[in-house]
Amino acid sequence: MAVQKITRTEGEWRRLLSPEQYRILREHGTEPAFTGAYWNHKEPGIYRCAGCGLPLFSSEAKYDSGTGWPSFYAPIDPAHVETSDDYSLGMHRIEVHCAACGGHLGHVFPDGPPPTGLRYCINSAALVFEPTDQAP
Ligand code: FE
């Protein structure tokens, strides 16, 4: 099901987000590897968008990619993330953003594990973790 789009002014985002969240989500920033809250986080639960709260990833699809960023082989719902071409840094990468608020999350690469073979490499600062009794 398509998600409801959320539009806010840059001033509203600056008020709502921490400086680090704003830099990642609204300015396509990247946190240094092995520094974020969730790269080594293994509890069962839901990772929501730090911008708008949309559920983005389940702990069920999280795996240790060795990269120092939280990595998932699939989103919790394919309609909850969108992608676009990113040609920055002199290479072609696929950028991943929240389908509702457009916040930049990270990138997706074709070197992930089964069943998808994809690696969603996501900034911790773009996520807020919500614990659950079991993986959703
Ligand atoms: Fe969002």
Active site residues: 121
- In the reported structure, the alpha carbon of residue 108 is separated from the centroid of ligand 1 by a whole-number distance in angstroms of 17
pLDDT at 135 over 80: no
Quote the CA–CA distance of 42 and 12 in Å, as a whole number. 32
What are the counts of helices (DSSP H) followed by strands (DSSP E) for the chain? Answer: 2, 9
| 55-58: strand order across its sheet | 55-58, 45-49, 127-131
C-alpha dihedral, 113 to 104 to 81 to 75, nearest 10°: 30
pLDDT (tens digit per residue) in 79-116: 999 999 999 999 999 999 999 999 999 999 999 999 99
C-alpha dihedral, 72 to 126 to 45 to 5, nearest 10°: -100
How large is the average pLDDT for residues 126-136?
91
Record the tokens describing residue 46, joined without a space. Answer: 């839901």
Phi then psi for residue 89, to 5 deg, are: 60, 25
pLDDT (tens digit per residue) in 12-46: 999 999 999 999 999 999 999 999 999 999 999 99
pLDDT at 1 over 80: no
pLDDT value of residue 69: 98
Phi then psi for residue 68, to 5 deg, are: 90, 5
Rg over CA atoms, the chain:
14
- In the reported structure, the alpha carbon of residue 21 is separated from the centroid of ligand 1 by a whole-number distance in angstroms of 11
- In the reported structure, the alpha carbon of residue 67 is separated from the centroid of ligand 1 by a whole-number distance in angstroms of 24
